[in-house]
Amino acid sequence: MLKIGLIGCGRISKNHFEAITAQPDAQCIACCDIIAERARETAEKYNIPFWATDYEEMLNIADIDLISICTPSGLHPEHGILAANYGKHVLTEKPMAVRLRDADELIEACDKGGVKLFVVLQNRLNPSIQLVRRAFDEGRFGKIYMITSNVFWTRPQEYYDMASWRGTWEYDGGAFMNQASHYVDMVQWFGGPIEEVKSITATLARNIEAEDTGSAIIRFKNGAIGSINVTMLTYPKNLEGSITILGEKGTVRIGGIAMNKIEHWEFTDKQEYDAQIENANTNPSSVYGFGHTGYYRNVVDSLQSKAKPTSDGLEGRKSLYLLEEIYKEKQTSNVLRLTFHQNKRKESNV
């Protein structure tokens, strides 16, 4: 039985508790949150025997094998490094850090501590994505020419105001780093490694430090071109979350609310599993999807040496590398942002 302690009993933790409960050979035995009420209520709801507000108190429980980290993104490295120092395996929510150097410190601490590091990229396990990956690994696309992703979602100001870490550079990042990070990961998973990135980002309407809108263009080392267009300002609700892969011998488009639906599937060659594409489409109720259960299954199997991790620290780092490249052009976007606001001021003077 894998014994788990979870830190950060906020919105995403529910998916973790449900995913852990679904595993016959894993159990959450402790939870921790700086808000005592939240930790206590969570423990009651999910029958967790121990709760704490002090993280080290939880880490001192010798029985815990794995720490699941669901705190604000900027805190993942600190919480992961501490867990590794206590000899616990580490599972962290995405993104694994908001800066590459912090991610590297986390990877190093886990290596030194002789523990495994898992980064939750649950959408890679969606049945639809798995089928596309199979076709990709079998070379059915031929040469890849272009990969594009659109994330046209809506996040009102109230969403950002729910917690003070949201939209800050220190703990969150913006639309690319938080909301669109699974799409960024998918683009690099199919297109990477990366040769060069150009981007423009802007904070057009929300009162946050980081961007609410942006576009990135990528040249991959294999010569293909990628693009990612993201906004959290779509009126009046989420409109699109899609990835399109255009190759020499195949075209696939994945949509749905959490990359769960194959909208276009066309290859020169035909395979018996082409008939499964309808069955692979799922209907999750939120953009978080169903993937956490499969993700935990893989974690337990990896720790029992029955499987390879689907996304470990080095895989999580690849996404973060692309995110950091996108943000390198932040300076330029700050100038654009200023220009936008100056223009707006001029317009209102007229």
Sites of contact with ligand NAD (CB under 6 A)? 7-12, 32-35, 38, 55, 70-73, 75, 93-94, 120, 122, 163, 178, 288
> C-beta of 212: minimal distance to ligand NAD in Å?
16
Task: Report the 10 Å Cβ neighbour count for 261.
Answer: 21
Peptide bond preceding 72 in cis form (omega within 30 of 0)? no
> C-beta of 54: minimal distance to ligand NAD in Å?
9
> C-beta of 93: minimal distance to ligand NAD in Å?
4
> C-beta of 273: minimal distance to ligand NAD in Å?
27
> C-beta of 229: minimal distance to ligand NAD in Å?
20
Element (H, E) at 262: strand 261-267
The runs of H, that is alpha helices, within the chain are 13-21, 36-45, 55-59, 76-85, 100-113, 127-137, 157-161, 181-191, 277-280, 291-303, 313-327, 330-349
Those residues with Cβ within 8 angstroms of residue 273's Cβ, 6 or more apart along the chain or in another chain: 131, 134
> Is the Cβ of residue 167 or residue 250 nearer to ligand NAD in the bound state?
167
* C-beta pairs of 80-83 under 8 Å, 24+ apart in sequence: 80/106, 80/109, 80/110, 80/117, 81/105, 81/106, 81/109, 82/55, 82/56, 83/59, 83/115
In 3D space, the residue among 18, 40, 41 whose CA is nearest the CA of residue 28 turns out to be 18
Rounded distance, CA 27 to CA 2, Å?
Answer: 6
> Is the Cβ of residue 267 or residue 288 nearer to ligand NAD in the bound state?
288
> Is the Cβ of residue 70 or residue 230 nearer to ligand NAD in the bound state?
70
In 3D space, the residue among 151, 150, 145 whose CA is nearest the CA of residue 219 turns out to be 145
Please identify the residue of the shown chain whose CB is closest to the bound ligand NAD.
10
> Is the Cβ of residue 118 or residue 141 nearer to ligand NAD in the bound state?
118
> C-beta of 267: minimal distance to ligand NAD in Å?
29
> Is the Cβ of residue 95 or residue 113 nearer to ligand NAD in the bound state?
95
> Is the Cβ of residue 33 or residue 324 nearer to ligand NAD in the bound state?
33
> C-beta of 264: minimal distance to ligand NAD in Å?
24
Structure tokens given for 175: 């639309």
Rounded distance, CA 306 to CA 172, Å?
Answer: 34
> Is the Cβ of residue 9 or residue 303 nearer to ligand NAD in the bound state?
9
> Is the Cβ of residue 42 or residue 281 nearer to ligand NAD in the bound state?
42
Strands 194-202 and 250-255: unpaired
> C-beta of 26: minimal distance to ligand NAD in Å?
18
